[in-house]
Amino acid sequence: MRMTQFKGNGNAQGAALEQRVREIRGYIEQSVRAACPVHEVEQRLWERLLKFGHEALDLYFSLQGTGDQGEELRLADGRRLRRLPGTYPKTYRSIFGEFTLQRVAYGTRAGQKLECVPLDTRLQLPQSVFSYVLQDWNGQLSVENPYGQVNRVLSKLLGFVQPVDSLERINVQAAETVAPWREGKPLPKPEEEGAYRVVSADGKGVPIRRSADEPAIAEHIGQRGPKPNRKKMAIVGSVYTVDAVSRTAEEVVASLFRRPDEGGPEREHPRAKPCGKQVRAALSREVDGKAVTATEEVIGWLAEQAERRQPQAGDKTLVLMDGQASLWEAAHLFCPEGSQAALAFVKERLLRVLHGEVSKVIGGLRQMGTKRGLKGKRRERLDKRCNYLQKNQSRMHYDEYLAAGYPIASGVIEGACRHFVKDRMERAGMRWTVDRAQAMLDLRSTYLNGDWDAFTAFRIKRETARIYPHRELFDGKEWPIAA
């Protein structure tokens, strides 16, 4: 990265900036005469504009001076601070490159804490060396892409490389503001809500990095079934409101079994669109020495949201959870997997379930098992599926749900698990520590909820108030341009 030391040479820098503008114009005219390909002109213009931006920001910093307020600075609480000897350098990494700012600082005496740095306060510099704009760009790209890819893209665009570990640390620090942001975030307006509240939850595994004291060879130990030391379950919650859309059982079945390449009649009833959908995910972890359970955190948030959100058609909350593929599993006890017979078997019984005939479907499956002489493991498998349906029969009044226009599918939460967690957290070779995984989940939920820009503004304002308690000394005060 390019380094610049500022010495108050504002006039010379201003002249250099004007010369840069003339050079850009000259390059354009020369490119026209030479009939240069537009893609080459575009690339060279971008490189010149980056240099122009660096020189312009260089001039901005130079004209600010060092922030010298005289021998003594009096704070609002009456305390008097002395100007400390010399100046103190601070690195600032912007989208145009890197700068070193020389600043005057005030305190009680040399070697002690810097009580006030007027230039930092005036410019509202971030606590880290990364500019807020660069942090914003890093964050928005990182919630969708691996850190290495973010680095490659930005290095190509901006012309400098950032350490991948720095990108991770930026995210972890930014995620600390997600909780207070959520607390103060306004709810959707009542007139923007649908008829019913819908809450849903599901789980998705996140690959976890082995602990520092675990030997590397342990990664190669073969395990069957769940791998508790390699993945940690993230609980994903979703809450939204939705309008009522009445459908028939036949319409639902036709929609589920229609292949994407098939034609067919247009949907008689348009699919209800979620209103104000919000997602959140959590891992079980320790926070300030206390155990935080992912399920309790997410379910508690869903309950709080359900209480606060105001649907248009009264105080009704619908809970959608992912079920089991019991009918398919039962079908494969009687029909070959992947066969048309299995497809017809499931289709017929699903239609009856949607008509509210769950008990008849259960009885029919048990009777088929007896007639076909299922025994041993195969009979156990059938009984297990029937018992599952019987246990949840009270939640399967689908004829009533469809007539009332309720949503009955858990596709929203299943899609959330795939897109929210899997698409970012489970790419090839990825391993996470719990704290960095949780930071990514927090920031990614903020991004997916459409809150990124508002969250970024909130975070900057909050951080500025925290690190610059003496801003009132310089608010509205004219700052002379350095010679």
314 with 410, same domain: the answer is yes
Q: State the pLDDT at residue 1.
A: 42
Q: Which of 14-23, 285-294, 468-477 has the lowest mean pLDDT?
A: 468-477
Residue 478 located in a structural domain:
no
What pTM does this model have?
0.86
Residue 268 located in a structural domain:
no
Task: Give the number of domains in the chain.
Answer: 3
Q: State the pLDDT at residue 7.
A: 46
Q: By percentage, how much of the chain surpasses pLDDT 90?
A: 70
Edge-to-edge strands, sheet with 317-321: 275-283, 231-242, 196-207, 317-321
157 with 244, same domain: the answer is no
d(CA 481, CA 483): 6
Please state, rounded to an integer, the average pLDDT across all residues of the chain: 89
The upper half-sphere exposure of residue 138, i.e. CA atoms within 13 Å in the direction of its Cβ, equals 28
Asked if residue 478 has pLDDT above 80, the reply is no
d(CA 356, CA 354): 5
Q: By percentage, how much of the chain surpasses pLDDT 70?
A: 91
383-406 mean pLDDT? 92
Q: Strands 196-207 and 317-321, how do they pair?
A: parallel
Q: What is the pLDDT of residues 58-89, one digit of tens each?
A: 999 999 999 999 999 998 888 999 999 999 99
Residue 4 located in a structural domain:
no
Asked if residue 270 has pLDDT above 80, the reply is no
Q: Which of 5-9, 100-104, 192-196, 416-420 has the lowest mean pLDDT?
A: 5-9
Dihedrals φ, ψ of 413, to 5°? -75, -35
349 with 233, same domain: the answer is yes
245 with 169, same domain: the answer is no
Residue 313: pLDDT band (50, 70, 90) is low
210 with 313, same domain: the answer is yes
334 with 280, same domain: the answer is yes
Location of structure tokens 């105001």: 310
Q: What is the pLDDT of residues 324-369, one digit of tens each?
A: 778 888 999 999 998 999 999 999 999 999 999 999 999 999 999 9
286 with 197, same domain: the answer is yes
| DSSP-H helix ranges across 84-195 | 118-123, 132-142, 147-158, 164-175, 178-184
Q: What is the pLDDT of residues 96-107, one digit of tens each?
A: 999 999 999 999
Residue 8: pLDDT band (50, 70, 90) is very low
308-313 mean pLDDT? 80
Q: What is the pLDDT of residues 152-179, one digit of tens each?
A: 999 999 999 999 999 999 999 999 999 9
Closest C-alpha among 305, 345, 298, 355 to residue 325: 345
306 with 419, same domain: the answer is yes
The parent domain of residue 279 ranges over: 189-259+273-448
440-469 mean pLDDT? 96
Q: What is the pLDDT of residues 198-236, one digit of tens each?
A: 999 999 999 998 665 555 545 545 555 555 568 999 999
333 with 401, same domain: the answer is yes
